[in-house]
């Protein structure tokens, strides 16, 4: 089996699922084309999105808190970032979606990392700075997490954030995620930082909705 994701210390909770379940998750990932099929405002990132995605990420309010993004941030590294996610989708292990507003402006992205053999996934991403601190982030996170449980068939969603990322901490605590401890996260450039870890099971997600 092709493994493209970098070895990580997450998820903390690890329960192997039957091979048939893992294969079903991989197939769901390989078939995914959009998170929001009703409005069609989210779609898979393409290589020709490199320049627009680079502009979006260049705002420090987007780039600074997220350790999984390319470092340094260049057109070449963003192009490679998108290309890697295309490979991960083919392997059933990852997805990168871009979200657009009514004016067809890039307004956010969702980075989904999967561990099919554990029935688990991690959601990363950001929204445009002019939509931050207005409740849009929580609404978008709910939408994508619900999609991960229902469409991809996951049992667990894991999240991480730096110790100083109070906005994300408030969001995850507010969504009912459970704090599971602290790990050392490693960026694409090899730099490390301590990160808090939250987890949510599908069962608790359904109960909290």
Where do the domains of the chain lie, and which CATH numbers do they carry?
19-154 (3.40.630.30)
At 4 the pLDDT is 36
User: Is-contact 75 84, C-beta < 8 A?
Assistant: no
- Spatial distance between the Cα atoms of 63 and 187, rounded to a whole number of angstroms: 12
Per-residue confidence in pLDDT tens, the chain, 209 aa: 233 334 468 999 999 999 999 999 999 999 999 987 555 578 999 999 999 999 999 988 888 778 888 888 999 999 999 999 999 999 999 999 999 887 788 989 999 999 999 999 999 988 887 765 555 678 888 989 999 999 999 999 999 988 888 888 999 999 999 999 998 877 666 677 788 999 999 999 998 87
Q: What angle do CA 168, 173, 174 make, to 5 degrees?
A: 95
As to burial, measured by CB atoms within 10 angstroms (0-12 exposed, 13-18 middle, 19+ buried), residue 42 is buried
Whole-model pTM?
0.89
- Spatial distance between the Cα atoms of 142 and 146, rounded to a whole number of angstroms: 6
Among 207, 118, 107, which residue's Cα sits nearest to residue 157?
A: 118
User: Is-contact 115 95, C-beta < 8 A?
Assistant: no
At 147 the pLDDT is 95
- Spatial distance between the Cα atoms of 153 and 15, rounded to a whole number of angstroms: 15
Structure tokens at 8: 């990580």
């Amino acid at each position: 089996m092709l493994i493209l994701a970098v070895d990580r210390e997450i998820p903390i909770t690890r329960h192997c699922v039957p091979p048939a379940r893992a294969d079903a998750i991989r197939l769901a990932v390989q078939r995914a084309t959009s998170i929001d099929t009703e409005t069609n405002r989210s779609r898979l990132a393409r290589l020709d999105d490199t320049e627009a995605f680079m502009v979006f990420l260049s705002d420090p309010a987007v780039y600074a808190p997220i350790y999984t993004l390319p470092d340094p941030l260049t057109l070449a590294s963003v192009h490679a970032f998108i290309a890697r996610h295309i490979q991960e989708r083919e392997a059933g292990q990852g997805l990168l979606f871009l979200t657009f507003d009514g004016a067809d402006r890039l307004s956010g992205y969702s980075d989904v990392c999967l561990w099919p053999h554990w029935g688990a996934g991690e959601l990363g991403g950001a929204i445009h700075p002019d939509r931050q601190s207005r409740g849009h982030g929580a609404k978008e996170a709910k939408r994508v997490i619900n999609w991960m449980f229902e469409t991809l068939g996951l049992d667990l969603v894991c999240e991480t954030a730096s110790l100083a990322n109070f906005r994300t901490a408030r969001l995850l605590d507010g969504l009912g995620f459970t704090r599971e401890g602290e790990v050392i996260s490693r960026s694409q450039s090899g730099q490390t930082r301590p990160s808090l870890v939250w987890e949510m099971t599908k069962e608790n997600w359904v109960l909290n909705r």
